[in-house]
Chains A and B, each alone.
Chain A
Amino acid sequence: MVYLVILAVLIGTVTPAHAYIDAGSGSYVLQMLMAGLLGLAFTIKLSWQRLKTFTAHLFAGKGKTEKKSGE
């Protein structure tokens, strides 16, 4: 809901840049307004995936080492 309020306020207050008239102006503005949020969300997602992969490798490596040492 907070997300909705922030966006509603942004859309209501930001004045678009003055340049070429484009029927898709709203789509451009929305992307510009959302850019920070989308970038942040994507960065967090990527970092989380990297962390998961790293952890998985770490444990897999540890498992292998343990197995090797037990042989």
Chain B
Amino acid sequence: MSIAVDPGSFRDPSGFIFYREGTLLRQVQPGYGEAYDLLISSGLYQALTEAGLLISHSEESVESGLTPTAYRILRPERIPFISYPYEWCFSQLRDAAGATLQIQKEALRCGMTLKDATAYNIQFREGKPTLIDTLSFEKYEEGVPWIAYRQFCQHFLAPLALMSRTDVRLQQLLRIHMDGIPLDLASQLLPRSTWLQPGLLTHIHLHGAAQKRYEGETTARSGSAGRVSRIALLGLIDSLETTVRNLKWQPSGTTWAEYYSQTNYSDTAMVGKKRLVSDLLAGIPEKPRIVWDLGANTGLFSRVASAQGIQTISMDIDPAAVEKNYLECKANGETHLLPLLGDLTNPSPDLGWALRERRSLPERGPADLVLALALVHHLAIGNNVPLGHIARFFRSLGEWLIIEFVPKGDSQVKRLLATREDIFVDYTASGFETAFCGSFEIVQTLPVPDSERTLYLLRGLPASA
């Protein structure tokens, strides 16, 4: 029988995640029993799951627990793809922050409070941010400050403020600071004008200063020296909500609507290419359950898959493209598409304690199908990656691959080569096929009309090959 504890589930003694025969289960420890019962009896669980703010679960027999001491064994609904806040666009992080505050308000209404507010507890389920940690609640005691206030500010407010007011790329600080961006660092990086905004002044600048001032000093969690009344706590949540809501980000120097209209294709060619991708998708004997569209831009071709009800990850390196993609998903209520930020030349690595807390991009696979359209030239010429290396990496991500070869005669490749020496002697259609046939077999090829490009449907050779 295969049993494995999730290596990232160790911080909170309330319980942990483990896998039994591949089934994801959550063990609730006896010490959390009272809080778990309150979550159910207070109506909080029902209210949050009905609102789509908390992952639902069923209860299994306690005999299926990892240890005989288990208080409850929960079987949560599975999320098709776990993503991390450093892979979200601005609006995704902002929506996740909003959901966390909404959950906290609902918890207070039911006599409970969030005991943590980590962004890693939020996942996108059917396009919406959802709390996946059922054990994040504890009984609210009147007068006690919000224990997760600092974590909320470090995980959500600081990165959002930096993305909005300094530079959107500073979100990547989340990759190196596992418990969110330190507030003194955020305070230093934010422009001076943010000292004049009450929300950022309080929750970032003064908060950072207070942390420094009282670092290592003692304070009672429920002491009488200072109390935070319920109305003050609601005021704090309201202030955080207003601050988050007022943070905006839009790519500068671009006309939003036309940001990605400058491509190498006419509208007709785009429609034609979509049809070709759809035809190749139909050529896969078993309908893929999960597709990763890499270099997805604003997700035009991702939607060929997601429109068929396939869970699709739509990944791009450009924060503006991912933002536009996500806003379109929201506007259309799309439930099968998840836009994510990712640099394929430096994909999300394994991170955290023992490098097991946050998993790398390939570790979260495999995908049933990888889409790599108008991408190979960026990797091979833009980043000097040999074609064979690209083939092996794509093979590690999934069995099926739809890939577009963009030859040197194409205007996009000419542009890449305009300012550098052409050292890419193997970058030809035959060189491409030779390199990829080391890892895949060619199932079908289709020329892209009105261009020199070719689309390939490839099937991975067995792993030992």
Contacts and interface: CB of A to CB of B under 8 A. Distances in A.
10 contacts: A3-B201, A14-B226, A16-B218, A26-B150, A29-B226, A32-B145, A32-B227, A34-B236, A38-B239, A45-B238
Nearest to B202: A34
Given A17-B226, A19-B221, A29-B219, 13 more contacts: A11-B210, A16-B217, A17-B223, A17-B225, A21-B217, A22-B221, A24-B147, A27-B207, A28-B221, A32-B145, A39-B231, A43-B235, A45-B238
Contacts of A22: 218-219, 221
A68 interface: no
Contacts of A28: 145, 219, 221, 226
Contact of A39 (B217, B220, B232): B232
A42 interface: yes
Interface string B200-220: 011000110111111111111
Contacts of A32: 145, 225-228
Contact of B146 (A8, A18, A20, A31): A31
Contacts of A37: 235
Interface residues of B, number: 40
Contacts of B218: 16-22, 25
Q: Which of B210, B220, B224 neighbours the largest number of chain A CB atoms within 10 Å of its CB?
A: B210
A8 B235 CA distance: 20
Contact of B235 (A16, A27, A42): A42
Nearest to B226: A32
Nearest to A23: B215
Q: Which 5 A-B pairs have the closest CB atoms?
A: A32-B226, A17-B225, A42-B235, A19-B220, A38-B235
B81 interface: no
Q: Which of A12, A38, A43 neighbours the largest number of chain B CB atoms within 10 Å of its CB?
A: A38
Given A16-B218, A19-B220, A42 B207 contact: no
Nearest to A45: B238
A37 B215 CA distance: 24
A58 interface: no
A11 B213 contact: yes
A7 interface: yes
Interface in B132-156: 145-147, 149-150, 153
A58 B215 CA distance: 53
A68 B379 CA distance: 72
B176 interface: no
Contacts of A20: 218-221
A19 B149 CA distance: 19
Contacts of B249: none
B345 interface: no
A11 B145 contact: no
Given A11-B206, A31-B228, A34-B202, A26 B211 contact: yes
Nearest to A19: B220
Q: Interface size bucket, A side?
A: 35 or more
B201 A27 contact: no
| Chain A binding surface SS class | helix
Nearest to B211: A26
A16 to B, nearest CB: 4
A30 interface: yes
B251 interface: no
B229 interface: yes
A22 B206 CA distance: 18
A65 B235 CA distance: 38
Contacts of A34: 202, 232, 236
Nearest to A39: B232
Given A35-B227, A35-B228, A39-B231, A21 B202 contact: no
Interface string A29-55: 111111111111111010000000000
A33 B238 contact: no
Contacts of B202: 7, 30, 34
Given A3-B198, A25-B215, A26-B212, A31 B221 contact: no
A56 B420 CA distance: 67
A29 B214 contact: yes
Nearest to A34: B202
Interface in B81-97: none
A45 B241 CA distance: 14
Given A19-B219, A20-B218, A26 B235 contact: no
A17 B201 CA distance: 24
A18 to B, nearest CB: 5
A15 to B, nearest CB: 8
A30 B232 CA distance: 12
B217 A30 contact: no
A4 B210 contact: no
B269 interface: no
A27 B149 contact: yes
Nearest to B201: A4
Interface string B229-247: 1011111101100000000
